[in-house]
Amino acid sequence: MKFCSNCAAPVVKRVPPGDSLPRWVCDQCGEIHYENPRLVVGSLPEWDGRLLLCRRAIEPRYGYWTLPAGFMENDETAGQAALRETLEESGARVELGAPFSLISVPHVNQVHLFFCARLLEPDFKPGDETLEVALFDEAKLPWKDIAFRTVGLTLRHWFADRKRGAFSFHAEDIAPR
């Protein structure tokens, strides 16, 4: 059972007039409670040809490696979200470049966005949600222990683009396994 956040009455899931999808509707105050995908924003922090990864200290995927990233917050831009998450998770200060990948993950109602980034100095330390932080070149990267498919895909594109000498923007979708 769910309740209206405006008036505390129970809500029901049905298609409102003029709409085509079921929504949580409050018959007491009339409010329609929409649910929309969330943006997860992060960065690809580079130093001397290596990329900075964080080993997760939280679920999901405790102990696996990821790029610094997290849910975009209200009142910030996508770039500010990437800088904030990078600093929070890895202690690293970066200069952002262009957006590099945008990946829809519809089965979890997320869109992941990663920016190219350059470490301002080779200085980092794990934040509260991180066990360890390290720089990896392509050969040493823990490819089998990457936390999320969006991160693995983004990393593969990044090293492939670097090999051919030009970074481009990658838009993709990920389907359930």
DSSP string, 93-161: -EEEEEEEEEEEEGGGTEEEEEEEEEESSS-----TTEEEEEEE-TTTS-GGGBS-HHHHHHHHHHHHH
For a copy of itself, the binding residue among 14, 32, 62, 109 (CB under 8 A) is: 109
Site string for a copy of itself, 50-69 (x = CB under 8 A): --------------------
Compute the distance between CA of residue 84 and CA of residue 68 in angstroms, rounded to an integer: 9
Site string for a copy of itself, 71-100 (x = CB under 8 A): xxxxxxxxxx-----------------xx-
> Smallest gap, in angstroms, from Cβ of residue 61 to a copy of itself?
19
- Contact indicator for 124, 91 with CB cutoff of 8 Å: yes
- The candidate with the shortest Cα–Cα distance to 31, out of 16, 51, 48, 46, is 16
Site string for a copy of itself, 131-160 (x = CB under 8 A): ------------------------------
Q: Which residues of this protein are in contact with a copy of itself, per CB under 8 A? A: 2-8, 10-11, 18, 21, 24, 33-39, 71-80, 98-99, 102, 104, 106-107, 109, 111, 113, 128, 169, 171, 173
